[in-house]
Amino acid sequence: MNPGARKVLGIDCGTAIVGWAVMTNKNNKLIHEACGDITTPKELDMHLRLKIIYEKLLEIIKKYLPEQLSEVAVEKIVKAVIEKADIKEFGRLMGEAMKELKGKADGKEVSEIVSELLAAS
């Protein structure tokens, strides 16, 4: 996924039919990726209907979730940012690192790596 792009999963809740859509918000423009519905048989008990909805939504999330970089790749990028910008302050370094890693890595993981690298220097 490109920097500045964000995926959105919209869900229209129900127990008989759940509608869903995946959109990408890129530069404040919504781009449709996919949509559909999850239909559950009305004769099933509620807990079984909810289980079907849960499992199908997990499949959708896994299919459309942006691919994340490995921890090794994130660490390599953070090291490059440290060298390039010569920043030793956590907040500023996080800001610069997230410019490179937005949409590619979880912020918590980046924060942990930044903290470790700063502590080691």
- Report the CATH number at residue 24: 3.30.420.10
Looking at the structure, tell me whether residues 11 and 57 fall in a common domain: yes
Domain that holds residue 23: 5-64
Q: Are residues 98 and 47 in the same domain?
A: no
Asked if 57 and 76 sit in the same domain, the reply is no
User: According to the model, what pLDDT value does residue 26 have?
Assistant: 80
Q: Say yes or no: 96 and 77 in one domain.
A: yes
Q: Are 34 and 4 in contact (CB under 8 A)?
A: no
Same domain, 52 and 9: yes
Tens digit of pLDDT for each residue in 75-110? 999 999 888 887 788 888 898 899 888 878 888 999
Q: Give me the chain's average pLDDT, please.
A: 88
How much is the average pLDDT of 111-117? 90
Say which residues have a Cβ less than 8 Å from residue 45's Cβ, sequence separation at least 6.
none
If asked whether residues 60 and 75 sit together in one domain, one would say: no
Q: HSE-up of 60 (CA within 13 Å, CB side)?
A: 23
Q: How many independent structural domains does the chain possess?
A: 2
Q: What's the average model confidence in pLDDT over 7-33?
A: 91
State CA 69 to chain mean position distance: 11
List the alpha helices (DSSP H) in 28-70. Answer: 46-64
pLDDT above 80 (res 121): no
Identify whether residues 76 and 59 lie together within a single domain: no
Query: Is the pLDDT score of 35 beyond 70?
Result: yes
Query: Does 23 have pLDDT greater than 90?
Result: yes
